[in-house]
Amino acid sequence: MQNQNTPTRLQATWARTAGLHGAARWLVAIVAGLVLFPLLVTDPFSQQVVVMTLMFGALGAAWNLVGGFLGRVSFGHAVFLGVGAYATLLLLNVLHLSPWFGIPLGGVVAAAVAFIVGKPTLRLTGHYFAMATIALLAVAQLLVVNWSWAGGASGIEAPIANNAWLLLFRSKAPYYWLALGLAVLTFWATARLARSKTGYYWRAINGDEAAARSLGVPAERYKMRAFVVSAALTGMWGGFYAIYIGFIDPDSAFNLTLSIQIVLVAILGGVGTIAGPWLGAALLIPFAQGMRVAMGSSGQGIDLLLYGLAIILVSLFLPKGLMTLRWRRGSSGG
């Protein structure tokens, strides 16, 4: 029996190795293309589309740690983006601290908020957890609106300057490079976690939390780890977002629509997969940005309508996201 099984095992090993090499080649090609893009395409709008695609891909990947691998669907992740954004701009305006330090510190502050609110909310499951995160978003927005030191309802602005130390530039190209660096960091962190023991514990909790506990998995600790790491990555991108647009207010930071967009890119690409959120963002964000330009003011909100239509179609024909197309093609090819 062992002799009969040996070729099968070798074939499986070779297939996995070939798959890893193929994925690595694709990854290298994509990164190389992104590195060359601003050198070949100098149009500011095109650069902005890629920056926003990278940002939403990273936000979807960060959300995926909780919503995909852990199985806790959060509709309030914009809280952590808003916390990181406000922390970065307040540190810059009040303490004159460079965003080189403010962006990571924004991630730390967002992680601290996640640790505090995660204690009660992570005990919930299903739609109760989803509703709790929506309520958290509403409470955060209300608090910031009434916080005069942080600008209240008017928000706060970044200084106008051309200073690399303060991450303030007149062109979009430097922000592109910063977004690409953050995207690579986010991809590396999420992929590493997903393939580690921590990622396997998250999948076990998602599959059957009671069974995972009975096997000795410290579920509370690992649920909190997913929530905190996801919040930290989202908070860092919030800091980048605030510096990039140069302004932040409660409506733009603590926005339910923004939270839903983060969820949508992950669902469209495939929750619980490493590349899914990036694929979803690569399809949705350029399409939405293009529609906004094409429709102008008359098409306000058309991108959300298209998002909804895309999710309906994916739910009907590809319930596990676009990443399943790869596996279907592979299985049909024998």
Tens digits of residue pLDDT in 198-256: 999 999 999 999 999 999 999 999 999 999 999 999 999 999 999 999 999 998 889 88
**8 Å CB contact between 98 and 167:** yes
Task: Using pLDDT thresholds of 50, 70 and 90, give the confidence band for residue 304.
Answer: low
Enter the DSSP assignment of 215.
T
End-to-end CA distance of the chain: 24
At residue 262, the pLDDT reads 93
What percent of the chain is predicted at pLDDT more than 70? 86
Task: Using pLDDT thresholds of 50, 70 and 90, give the confidence band for residue 292.
Answer: confident
- Which range among 20-29, 37-46, 71-80, 155-164 has the greatest average pLDDT? 71-80
At residue 2, the pLDDT reads 47
At residue 22, the pLDDT reads 60
| Crossing angle (nearest 10°) for helices 2-40 and 44-64 | 150
Q: Which of 32-46, 67-81, 96-110 has the lowest mean pLDDT?
A: 32-46
Mean pLDDT of 113-141: 92
At residue 331, the pLDDT reads 42
Q: DSSP secondary structure string, 133-151?
A: HHHHHHHHHHHHHT-GGGT
At residue 12, the pLDDT reads 47
At residue 200, the pLDDT reads 94
Dist CA 48 CA 289 (whole Å): 9
Angle at 115 between CA 113 and CA 119, to 5 degrees: 120
Q: Can you read off the two tokens belonging to residue 64? A: 């995926």
Q: Can you read off the two tokens belonging to residue 179? A: 């977004």
How do the domains of the chain map onto residue ranges?
43-254
Q: Residue 61 pLDDT more than 90? A: yes
CB-neighbour burial class of residue 296 (10 A; exposed 0-12, middle 13-18, buried 19+): exposed
Task: Using pLDDT thresholds of 50, 70 and 90, give the confidence band for residue 314.
Answer: confident
Q: Which helix (H) or strand (E) holds 156?
A: strand 156-157
- Higher-pLDDT residue of 6 and 292 is 292
Q: Which of 50-64, 94-108, 262-276, 302-316 has the lowest mean pLDDT?
A: 302-316
At residue 9, the pLDDT reads 54
Q: Residue 284 pLDDT more than 60? A: yes
Task: Using pLDDT thresholds of 50, 70 and 90, give the confidence band for residue 15.
Answer: very low
